[in-house]
Amino acid sequence: MLTNRISPSAKFALIASFGGFVFGFDASVISGAIGFISEQFALDEWQQGLVVSAPTLGAIIASFFAAFLSDRFGRRNTLIAVALLYVCSAYFSAVASDFESLLLARFIGGLAFCSLLITPMYIAEISLAKSRGKLVSINQLNIVIGLSVSYFSNYLLLQLGHGEGNTLTFFAMQGETWRWMLALELVPAMIWFLALFALPKSPRWLVLNNHQSDAKAVLNKLFSQKEVDAQLQEISIIDNQQAAFFTRLKGLFSSKVRLALMMGITLAIAQQISGINVIFFYAPVIFEQSGIGTDAAFLQASWIGAVNVLFTLVALITIDQFGRKPLLTIGLVGVCVSMLICSYGFQQARYQIDNGDISQLLTIHHTLDSASLSSLASQVFTSDIAFKDAVVGAIGEQQFRQFGSDILMRATDINAELVLFGITAFVASFAMSLGPVMWVFFSEVFPSELRSIGISFLALINGFVSFLVQLVFPWELATLGAAITFLIYGVFALLAFGLIVRFLPETKGQSLEYLSQPEVMKN
């Protein structure tokens, strides 16, 4: 009975957007695995950053070809190939034997990240203006559900990895927990791959490729006869003739779409430079910095995932009611304030380890160089950088990789609740604004002949900024400290807020063709 109440557009949007779940899982599952990988492969800060950011580098390269592939072979067929890349990446990541092979497998998965720009395009092209915002936002909802599920599965696998017995021996989990974390992605990736064959081709793509009768047949599956005629008329306004690739690339920088492009670039940069993927991809690492320990850090990351899902639902419900711009402005205020809270929390932290703490550590970690660590007993450090440098100087880099989390847990005196509140508020603010609204805006503001190349170009910028932020974050933590790092993100969010309030137009409830007119963006 439920399926009878769901429109055909919504059904197909749900299938297409399940790739968002796979992306979210793929992108954030590394947050739980990176600590184990770093220890097993003896990675330094830059190598850690490369492992985490390698998919984003793949996504940048894929962005160059996504527009061409989706226009040449169709949105649906391109998504099927993307799903197969996810399957290959998950398998080869799980069986990687060294840093280089893991990096390559993660890079292959990043090539599949172009689903982030093809899926919103496809959904926008099979939906009506009145429901387009909600349907495109389903992709973002699936992304955050995938993020949340990966945090929860990481936590469960971590608990299994701590145990002993026949189950662990059977599944070869002892010492290999991270491989199971990465391998679990095979399940949703295979499901999505098979489900994609049920999708119809995009009617706009069919018109662009001179298959008008097929396009009308697809539209008849999606809409009522009245809506079909209206859709065909709208598409024909711009889609009668498809320009060559380089002509469209030149058109992307023409004056008629200049404002749309500039605002798209602003959103693409703002979404990543706010630090969101640092939170998602390094969540347990960040929580360990607050001294709560590894298990608690994984549990807190699961909580963050749940908050992300909840507030993405808020955006999904309200985006077509309140509009895109109000959600962005409210959300960015929350991002700025929450980053300042996190910065303040880490700035006020103190670090001190005494002989009692060292004795407790020695009972757990028998190989710990307790004699050298005792030289730091009773010293008070006001900076996480100074404390970690002192510990590394005392016991060495290798032992710090092994025991650093437990040492931090016992030495850190911080208002952990304040930091957790700040990160939670940040994720909530992002989830109801920059997360879903950016992709909705991208799918709305370009004319049909420029839509695929426009979204690809903006995704390229978004991916490049994301790659830099993820790559640099381990170095930032080690060099600048958590307080300054979060302050930087807050300042960038404030700049984005000013630009969006001043220049971003409202796009809710308008047809794609109407929004493509230059005077609409100028007004």
In angstroms, what is the C-alpha Rg of the chain?
Answer: 24
pLDDT, residue 298, reads: 65
| Whether residue 396 sits in one domain with residue 300 | no
Read off the pLDDT of residues 187-203 as tens digits, 9 standing for 90 and up. Answer: 999 999 999 999 998 88
| Whether residue 470 sits in one domain with residue 503 | yes
Residue 434 belongs to domain spanning: 10-199+243-347+417-522
**Average pLDDT of 124-137?**
79
In a domain, 167, yes or no: yes
Query: How many angstroms separate the CA atoms of 468 and 461, rounded?
Result: 11
| Whether residue 177 sits in one domain with residue 130 | yes
In a domain, 405, yes or no: yes
Query: How many angstroms separate the CA atoms of 37 and 42, rounded?
Result: 8
pLDDT, residue 494, reads: 92
Please tell me the pTM assigned to this model: 0.69
In a domain, 4, yes or no: no
In a domain, 40, yes or no: yes
What is the tally of structural domains in the chain? Answer: 2
| Whether residue 135 sits in one domain with residue 97 | yes
**The pair of three-digit structure tokens given for residue 90, joined into one six-digit string:** 């998950």
> What are the phi and psi torsion angles at 242 (to 5°)?
-95, 125
| Whether residue 355 sits in one domain with residue 339 | no
Read off the pLDDT of residues 324-341 as tens digits, 9 standing for 90 and up. Answer: 888 889 999 999 999 999
In a domain, 384, yes or no: yes
Mean pLDDT of the chain: 80
Query: How many angstroms separate the CA atoms of 207 and 223, rounded?
Result: 17
| Whether residue 409 sits in one domain with residue 503 | no
Please say which residue of 374, 390, 413 terminates a domain.
413
The number of C-alpha atoms within 13 Å of 72 and in the hemisphere containing its C-beta is 7
Range picked from 79-88, 201-210, 381-390 for highest mean pLDDT: 79-88
In a domain, 432, yes or no: yes
| Whether residue 300 sits in one domain with residue 393 | no
In a domain, 135, yes or no: yes
In a domain, 224, yes or no: no
| Whether residue 362 sits in one domain with residue 466 | no
pLDDT, residue 103, reads: 92
Query: How many angstroms separate the CA atoms of 428 and 435, rounded?
Result: 10
For residue 14, name the pLDDT band (cuts at 50, 70, 90): very high
| Whether residue 357 sits in one domain with residue 375 | yes
CATH code at position 191: 1.20.1250.20
Please say which residue of 413, 433, 451 terminates a domain.
413
Q: How large is the angle between the packed helices 8-41 and 397-411, nearest 10 degrees?
A: 110
Instruction: Give, in order, the Cα–Cα distances in Å from 469 to each of 1, 49, 53, 269.
Output: 46, 9, 9, 11
pLDDT, residue 244, reads: 60
Find out whether 323 and 508 touch, Cβ atoms under 8 Å.
yes
pLDDT, residue 168, reads: 47
| Whether residue 508 sits in one domain with residue 371 | no
Percent of the chain at pLDDT > 70 equals 85
More confident residue, 322 or 298: 322
Beta carbons within 10 angstroms of residue 113's beta carbon: 28
**The pair of three-digit structure tokens given for residue 70, joined into one six-digit string:** 């989706």
Read off the pLDDT of residues 409-451 as tens digits, 9 standing for 90 and up. Answer: 777 777 878 888 888 899 899 988 888 788 778 877 777 677 7
| Whether residue 115 sits in one domain with residue 164 | yes
**The pair of three-digit structure tokens given for residue 2, joined into one six-digit string:** 């439920």
| Whether residue 186 sits in one domain with residue 130 | yes
Please say which residue of 413, 428, 448 terminates a domain.
413
